[in-house]
A and B are shown apart, each in its own frame.
Chain A
Amino acid sequence: MSITAASPAAIPADHAARLSLRRAALAFVLTAFAAMTVGSLLGPAQALNYANIDIYPALPVASYYQGLSIHGVLNGLVFTTFFNCAVLFYLPARELDVPARTGWVWLCFWVMLAGLALALIAILSNRATVLYTLYAPLEAWWPLYVGLALVVVGSLMLGAETLRMRLAWKRLNPGRVTPLAAYQASVVWILWAFTSIGIVVELVVFLIPWSLGLCQGVDPLITFTLFWYTGHAIVYFWVLPAYLSWYALLPREAGGRLVSDKLGRLTFLLFLLFSVEVGLHHEITAPGIAMFWKMEQMVFTFFVVGPSLLTAFTIAASLEAAGRAHGGRGWLGWLTALPWRDPSVAGQVLALITFIGGGSTGILLASMAINPLLHDTAFIPGHFHITVGTATALTFIAMSYWLVPHLTGRKLFAPKLALASVWLWAAGMMGIGIGLMGQGLLYGTPRRDFISSLPHDPFVHPGLMAVTAIAGVVLLIALLCFLVSTLGTLFSAAAPVALVPRIPFGDAPVDGESRLVLLMDRLGLWTIVSALLIAMVYLPLFWVLFQHYVAVPGNRMW
């Protein structure tokens, strides 16, 4: 690692408290990666399925769909939430350097772990094969719903603790602007509180009572709309911790400095304002919702592209500055001059590059004109493997290459293997993206479909299928490299303190005099504005939907 300059927060004042914080953060990180490992081990079988090769008889799952449920819930919901909790709690705690209530943090962890255990019992026993989308009236066994609710509630409890720490810091530092990482993390926690309302209502008001037999049926469209209320904004909950790393940590890791602290704040604030009002663009082809609502939310979806475009500029400019400081010349010389040998930097830059494809296909999908051509085809999983699979997952893996050594007081084991893992991961995800998006775009191949079992397969397109299959295998190798390196780090001997990486907080100057920066720091105000915007968009919609409630009985055909 190239981080040697100690930021003020990195000098331990209270060693025991630091140690217990690290242990708690490590518990979240390791649970996240354990979930990711189990979920990802099923991925290659799914990629082979899309190449018409059925290896499911050799796997310990009852069906392709059970495997897909495990993959979606563990990788999409569990891995992301647990890792986010570690980053969004630990970084502010260290940056603000105010005491955290460690007992409460551990309580959050155990609530979430209990939820994960319940969900796993349901899914692994093949009694909750409803995919991560939970679409009623397919009716899972109740522990899945209760378990997921506990995971969400535990994470919200941790968010509350982080926001409390920020307020405590504010009291100690009147008139000062919140440091960047703590500001961004606080914004993400507020956004997550708003985002989670949909799935919490869906679970607690509808699915849990229904699966316990307390009501006869649920409305499939209302539960679907509640799911997507959360379901789109949740992708920002997944990706914003990666953005946080790109803004607050990566520039320093790359040997440079964030070009604008102000834009780092503005970006996150815009996400807080516009992330939630966009869920309906997942329901453009659904009946029961008038065109007006769909169009309104399409416009908001275009609003939320703005902060990602800001990010593309600011991060690219910061990396360019770093590359030129390393001696890079010319149009693209700065890119090759970045410290590519550092697996953490290489992984995050690769995540950024692959995310360009993910982000731009996202804009296509948000368009009502184009969406019906691609909706529910293999294009969709292709799209989110180069968004969640790279921007989020690859950044998290790359972050772990300094974070796990930092939390455990060890040196990174086999850095070359770690470097190989991020390249293979990026290449594999690009392959999945190209293969699946191509199949969906050119041939209308349905998504989430056990096509390899069909006797006369109508979806055979050899070229793209080969790309998907090879990418699946490449990803498996990437995962193995990651596992060897991470387990090696965990089981190696403690390293001398000087060799253990510190948190690479950036040192971009904060313009504490700027009225814009001071205004942006008033998070209470922005919470109210965001609540009003969400209420304005969603309350009338739900009022209309509840005018006709159709109770449909449950169904378990899997």
Chain B
Amino acid sequence: MSEPETAAPRHLMSRYEWRWIVIALAGLAVFLAMSIGFTMSHPGRLPMTPQVDPVRKILSGPMFSHPGVTRLGPHHYRAVVIARQFSFDPASIKVPAGARVDFYLTSADVVHGFELPDSAVNVELFPGYVAHVSATFRKPGRFLTACNQYCGIGHQAMLGRFEVLSKAAWRKSLTAAAAPAAPAMSGVMAAIGPARIADGKAIFAVSCAGCHQATGQGMPGAFPPLAGTLGEYNGPAGRAVLAHVLLFGMNGPLNAGGKSYNGVMPAWAAQLGDRKIAHVLDYIETAWGNAKALPPSFKPFTAAGIAHDRVPALTPAAVAAEHARLPAR
């Protein structure tokens, strides 16, 4: 190989190099100054941390035991949000346009994210840490609050709704907030009783809806739907298997409604007592039109029955095997 003859002379090279370094560093310094200046002049944009405590203490504290939006004063609201696998509580946040909103957010389980696209609100949520950011939303609109930190198998479905309402729409929503009349109940549902169904629904909203969704539709590939697919549990063996699935969890592939699913059902034996499990089972057996598929001989689940199903304890794999032996309906 021949010596490169055309390399620029050394002094020329270093002159160009110095020019380049000065211009590049000046550009960086200006950009850095802009970043610092903007950040200092927009307080409330990056998260502050009003509380660090064990998760249970935060969740049972005065703020997070009542998630939702409250009015603090004229044009000033507070939004308290709990993120948990795989939903936000509340799932839908509405605020009036032009008001300052103080967000207080935390996670109940793993690391989550809370981002409002088209705004500066983007925070990571750690269990044990409360994050506080503030923002004012001037234009009415609808946004998604997407969890943007991987949090488990249902991460993609962890979406909440965020609505900025015009003044008129906000006033209207306040008057419409009165609770809607409970739908009339008939047949099995009446036999179970509205109080038990309401309790089961509340437990479902917190512990189950993240995966199986409030609509009972589940999530493709991971979590089977519960709407219209519980017929297989109607036989004599099925009832105990259904209780076992809740108590001990289940894993491995399964079929529901002609589609295959491969997710993980966690065990709830430690978190939920016998009565709560009975109520949530009554709820899912009757919700989303499932009541129509129940045999006339159906009897509500009881705490005593669940206590009986708790012994002996099974592994998630054993429950899956038990489930596979059920006759298909």
B: number of interface residues (CB 8 Å): 77
A232 at the interface (CB under 8 A from B): no
CB of B177 within 8 Å of the partner chain? no
Mark B201-240 against chain A: 1 for CB-CB distance below 8 A, else 0.
0000000000000000101111000000000000000000
Q: Mark A70-82, 1 if CB is under 8 A from B, else 0.
A: 0000000000000
List which A63-121 residues lie within 8 A (CB) of chain B: 63-65, 68
Question: In this assembly, does B49 line the interface, its C-beta being within 8 Å of a C-beta of chain A?
Answer: yes
A313, B156: Cβ atoms closer than 8 Å: no
Count of A-B residue pairs with CB < 8 Å: 229
**A63-B262, A376-B113 known; A306 vs B25 contact (CB < 8 Å):** yes
B199 within 8 A of A: no
Known: A287-B131, A444-B118. A65 touches B150 (CB 8 A): yes
CA separation between A447 and B124, bound complex, in Å? 13
Contact with A along B127-167 (1 / 0, CB 8 A): 11111100000000000101111111111110100000000
B39 and A368 contact, CB distance less than 8 A: yes
B54 contacts A by Cβ under 8 Å: yes
1/0 per residue A522-558: CB within 8 Å of B? 0000000000000000000000000010111001111
Given A224-B111, A287-B129, the answer on whether A321 and B8 have CB atoms closer than 8 Å is yes
Residues of B within 8 A of A324 (CB): 4, 6-7
Is B152's CB under 8 angstroms from A325's CB?
A: no
Q: Provide the residues of chain A in CB contact with B35, threshold 8 Å.
A: 298, 367-370
CB distance from A62 to the nearest CB of B (A): 6
User: In the complex, are the beta carbons of A446 and B113 less than 8 A apart?
Assistant: yes
Q: Would you call A555 and B152 a contact (CB within 8 A)?
A: yes
Asked if A487 is at the interface (CB within 8 A of a chain B CB), the reply is: no
Mask of B2-19 contacts with A, CB within 8 angstroms, 1/0 = 111111100001001100
- Complex Cα spacing A265 to B144, Å: 49
For chain A, what secondary structure do more than half of its interface residues adopt (helix, strand, loop), or is it mixed? loop
Give every chain A residue within 8 A of B153 (Cβ-Cβ). 63, 65, 129, 557-558
Pairwise interchain contact A321-B4, C-beta atoms closer than 8 A: yes
Of A394-402, A448-456, A460-468, the segment with at least 4 beta carbons within 8 Å of chain B is A448-456
Does A372 contact B120, Cβ atoms closer than 8 Å? yes
Count of chain A residues with a beta carbon within 8 Å of a chain B beta carbon: 83
- In the assembled complex, A286 has its CB within 8 A of some CB on chain B: yes
Cα-based distance from A443 to B149 in the complex (angstroms): 16
Residues B1 and A2 in contact, CB atoms below 8 Å apart: yes
Q: Of B26-34, B180-188, B297-305, which stretch is located at the interface?
A: B26-34
- Decide yes or no whether A172 CB sits under 8 A from chain B: no
List the one stretch of A150-158, A254-262, A408-416, A476-484 in contact with chain B: A254-262
Taking CB atoms, residues of chain A closer than 8 Å to B118 are 444
* Closest chain B residue to A299, Cβ basis: B32
Q: Is the CB of B5 within 8 A of A325?
A: yes
Binding site for B on A (CB under 8 A): 2-5, 54, 56-57, 62-65, 68, 129, 131, 133, 135, 137-138, 219-221, 224, 252, 255-257, 259-260, 263, 283-289, 291, 294-295, 298-299, 302, 305-306, 309-310, 313-314, 317, 321-322, 324-325, 363, 367-370, 372-373, 375-377, 443-444, 446-451, 453-455, 458, 548, 550-552, 555-558
Chain B residues with CB under 8 Å of chain A are 1-8, 13, 16-17, 20-21, 24-25, 28-29, 31-32, 34-36, 38-39, 45-49, 52-55, 85, 109-111, 113, 115, 117-118, 120-132, 144, 146-157, 159, 217, 219-222, 260, 262, 264, 266
Q: Which 10 A-B pairs have the closest CB atoms?
A: A444-B117, A550-B128, A557-B152, A287-B131, A446-B148, A324-B6, A376-B148, A325-B4, A369-B38, A367-B35
A-B contact pairs, 22 of them (CB 8 A): A3-B1, A65-B150, A129-B153, A285-B46, A285-B124, A286-B126, A287-B131, A291-B39, A294-B46, A302-B31, A309-B24, A313-B21, A317-B16, A324-B7, A325-B5, A325-B7, A444-B115, A446-B147, A446-B148, A449-B146, A453-B222, A458-B159
